[in-house]
């Protein structure tokens, strides 16, 4: 286990030194804080835009539902971009640069190399999303009120789970691929494939994206949980990580 924590510690240090952690946290903070503000101020902004005053009257009175929808939309869109971008180089870049050969000839189990990296990605997004969630909760409460803290937290956990599914799949491509481009392409490709599968009737409730709908329902009440989507998400994450470990174990560095 000490090797796992050693890799995790090194990855976190790298995330801090490279300012990757700062970038991810700042992005999710900005959109976490801005989402309720934008939901609240959209009518006023439209009124201030020359020629758009007429549209302002058509915009319904903003509500907490708008703030939550805006928050989940922004955090999921920017979060998924960051999750794929930060995961795509995790393994393949180390192989390209030769650092993987330097450390994998030490008594470092290859599963710990993968797991340490995933744990660091998870920790980075946990921190960044927590900061964004605090900002989003504060402004939602100030501007609209009525957002339950427990439900808000649970919704953010679902959002984090969804992001980590894609981070794990991209990590698998980063292990299998020969370049960051291939790994990134694989990550975005899986996003597209899962998006297309979502259009198949009856399949959507099984897909990770259903977690976002569950998150919205949690915050606003109404509708039930999406347990199948959660099970599939956890299974996809687990299988992607196992796949990455097995692939790295078989590879020559």
Partner 1 sequence: MEQAIRCEGLSKAFGRTRALQGLELAVPAGAVFGFLGPNGAGKTTTMRLLAGLARPSAGSAWICGQKVRAGSREIARLVGYLPEEPAFYGWMRPREFLDYVARLFGFGPAERQRRVEMVLETVGLQDVAGRRISGLSRGMRQRLGLAQALVHGPRVLLLDEPASALDPIGRREILEFIRALAPDCTVFFSTHILADVERICDQVAVIANGRLVVQARTEELLRRYALPVFEVEVEPGQGVALQRWLQELGAAGWLLGVSHAADGNSARILCREVSEARQALIAGLAQASLPITRLELVRPSLEEVFVRLVQGEADK
Q: Which residues bind partner 1 (CB under 8 A)?
A: 2-3, 6, 9-10, 14, 17-18, 97-99, 101-110, 249, 252-253
109 or 225: CB nearest partner 1: 109
6 or 204: CB nearest partner 1: 6
User: What angle is formed at CA 234 by the lines to CA 228 and CA 239, rounded to 5 degrees?
Assistant: 120
């Amino acid at each position: 286990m000490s090797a796992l924590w050693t890799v995790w510690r090194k990855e976190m240090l790298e995330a801090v030194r490279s300012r990757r952690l700062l970038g991810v946290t700042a992005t999710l903070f900005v959109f976490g804080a801005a989402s309720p503000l934008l939901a609240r101020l959209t009518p006023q902004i439209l009124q201030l835009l020359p020629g758009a005053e007429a549209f302002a009257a058509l915009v319904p009175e903003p509500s907490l539902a708008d703030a939550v929808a805006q928050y989940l939309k922004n955090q999921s869109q920017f979060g998924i971009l960051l999750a794929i971008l930060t995961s795509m180089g995790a393994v393949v870049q180390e192989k390209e640069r030769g650092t993987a050969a330097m450390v994998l000839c030490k008594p470092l189990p290859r599963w710990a190399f993968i797991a340490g990296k995933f744990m660091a990605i998870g920790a980075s997004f946990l921190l960044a999303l927590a900061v964004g969630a605090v900002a989003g909760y504060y402004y939602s409460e100030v501007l609209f009120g009525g957002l339950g803290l427990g439900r808000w937290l649970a919704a953010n956990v679902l959002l984090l789970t969804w992001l980590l599914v894609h981070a794990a799949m991209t990590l698998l491509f980063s292990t299998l691929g020969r370049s960051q481009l291939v790994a990134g392409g694989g990550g975005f490709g899986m996003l597209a494939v899962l998006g297309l599968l979502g259009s198949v009737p009856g399949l959507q409730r099984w897909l990770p994206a259903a977690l976002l709908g569950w998150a919205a329902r949690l915050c606003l009440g109404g509708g039930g949980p999406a347990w199948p989507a959660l099970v599939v998400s956890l299974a996809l994450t687990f299988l992607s990580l196992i796949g990455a470990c097995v692939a790295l174990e078989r590879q020559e560095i």
